[in-house]
Structures are given as C-alpha cells and as structure tokens.
Amino acid sequence: MEKRLSNKVAIVTGAGSGIGKETSLLFLEEGAQVILADINETTLEETFNIAVQKGYKDNVVSIPTDVAKESDIVNMVNIAISEFGHLDILFNNAGVGGAFGSIGDIDANEWDHSMAILLKSVFMGIKHASVEMKKNTNGASIINTASIAGMSGGGGPQAYSAAKAAVINLSQTTALELGEFKIRVNSISPGAISTPLLNGLSEDWDERIKGLQPIEELGQPLDIAYAALFLASDESRFVTGHNLCVDGGLTVDRTGLIKGMRESAQEELGDMRISGMSMGSTGIEETLREIED
C-alpha cells in the first residue's frame, strides 16, 4: 500500500522539538523526503539522529536555519531542490513566545524580532518555496503554524497573538493568489499543546486545562502532526485558505480561555511587572526585565 506522502519532498522548520519534530518523523514514516530546519543545532541533531535510527538516512537532511534571515530561507529551499530535485510541501512551523509584558513596557526591538520570527519568516517561506512549487504539475501544499491566540484577544501575549492573526490572514491571501498553480495554503491553529514552548510557561497545564475545554487534557505534538499530514497529503487536494483549529474545543467557549490565561499569569507573577522576550526552544537565552513604577 502506497504511503500518504510517497514521492513528496517536504521542508519542516522548527524541526528540532515539539510539533516540528513529531511532524518531521511522521512525514518520513509516510514516505516523504524531509529537510529538517531549526536554529537550535543540538535539538536539530537529535531529530536527525532519530530519523537515521528509524531507517530514513537516505530521505532526510538537516540544515541549521534562522528563519528570520532571508538568506537562510533561500538556502533551505535550494538544498531541498539540490538534494531531492523538487519541493512539494513546506511546513512553516518555527516560532518563539516572543516579546511580552504590558503594552507600555514592551521593547520595540523585541517586538520587531518577534515579528521577524513569527510572521516575516512565514512570508519568506511562502515567497521562495512557491517559486519552486509552481514548477510542479501536480500542485503543492504550504502549511503555516498559527495559533488560537491569533483568533481572538486575550489568548496570548500581544506580539505573539498579532503575528499569529497575521499568519492566518497571510495564508488566506496567498491561497487566493497561488490557487491557479494548484498550490494550497492553509494554517493550523493549535490550542494548548504539550510543547517546550508551552511547558516553559507553567508546569501544571494538565490541571489548568480542566474545566476550560471539552476534552480535558493537553494536546500532544502528534495531534498537530496528523493535522499537518492531512493538509500535506493529496487527501486535502480541495482544501485551501483554511485555518484548521486543533484545540480540544478550547475556543468553543472563549471566555474560559481568556480567564485561564489571565489567572495563570496572575499566579505566576503576583504583583510583579515584567517584560522581555521568550525564545522558546531555540536554545537562545530569553530576556527578562522587572519593571519599576
């Protein structure tokens, strides 16, 4: 029986951990040749080694990549072509928590850096991947990791939420433009998923999530990987411009989401005012400042 991604070449950014790691391994299992990209060379090597141990040595290549740099994006796409001859799937998944704090305390440079990683990288990925994908007579698929934080106010820090809202819209607008080339562009909006990014914010999400959503447990990276697999495969040939929400029902009642986020922040910080930038699982140290009145 033919695998779902047989003869397809995929790029996965943020492949070193969490959603990117699980998606990369699932794509390989389903027959794809995969370019692994991540700024964290240590975790990137770990994913690569797992892939090799599973028998995918000839189907996987790893590239240290800073998705905020256009030259790295161009290199990533070029390597996919030079190694495997074509490009069918791009999963723009890399991200960070980004700038946080009260709006009056957020550093403008950290805001810009957040947007470069969370939004500009998606633009650049679509830009350069689509040039190669237009050469495919059977079409291609671009998948962008958005977030439920981009679907309403109160679901995350301002910079992160604004960037993810833009990712959803960018997916829709580019779906309109690229449809004539049979290039599908969709986004996935994860809810509370057990990843290094989320777990770094709090250690008791399993308890926090109870009462906030119909399925009272944290989602797993593999839940998002399976959603990405559907959007990457020919099974979704008639799906484009869609934002697939995978959140255990968390956004069904948005008041619970907002209340839960606020309570979490209040418990963690108390009366302290802080600002800074979370770098997630990149291996780059976050910045943290206590704000004094």
Q: What is the pTM of this model?
A: 0.88
Q: Is 265's pLDDT higher than 90?
A: no
For position 8, what pLDDT does the model report?
A: 98
In this model, does residue 266 exceed pLDDT 70? no
Model confidence at 251, pLDDT cuts 50, 70, 90, reads confident
Please confirm, yes or no, whether 56 is among the known catalytic residues.
no
pLDDT, average across residues 87-93:
98
Q: Cα separation of 188 and 33, whole Å? A: 22
Q: How far apart are the C-alpha atoms of 92 and 20, rounded to whole Å?
A: 9
Ranges of H-type helices in the chain? 18-29, 41-53, 70-84, 108-115, 121-133, 158-178, 196-199, 205-208, 221-232, 254-269
**Which comes out higher in pLDDT, residue 254 or 242?**
242
Mean residue pLDDT of the chain comes to: 89
User: What are 105's two structure tokens?
Assistant: 């305390």
Going by C-alpha positions, the residue among 134, 144, 196 that lies closest to residue 13 is 144
Q: Give the C-alpha separation, 54 to 13, whole Å.
A: 20
Task: Please report the DSSP string for 60-72 in residue order.
Answer: EEEEE--TT-HHH
Residue 289, pLDDT score: 62
- What is the reported pLDDT for 169? 98
Structure token digits, residue 226: 């399976």
Lowest mean pLDDT among 34-38, 113-117, 243-247, 287-291: 287-291
How does strand 274-278 pair with strand 287-290?
Answer: antiparallel
pLDDT at 97 over 70: yes
The per-residue pLDDT for 11 is 98
Domains and CATH numbers, the chain: 9-290 (3.40.50.720)
In this prediction, residue 58 carries a pLDDT of 97
End-to-end CA distance of the chain: 65
pLDDT at residue 10 greater than cutoff 70 = yes
Q: What is the pLDDT of residue 262?
A: 54
Q: How far apart are CA 19 and CA 148, in angstroms?
A: 15
CA angle 56, 38, 221 (to 5 degrees): 70
Give the model's confidence band at 68: pLDDT under 50 very low, under 70 low, under 90 confident, else very high.
Answer: very high
> Catalytic one among 27, 48, 160, 205?
160
pLDDT digit string, tens, across residues 175-228: 999 999 999 999 999 998 887 665 545 556 666 666 777 888 889 999 999 999
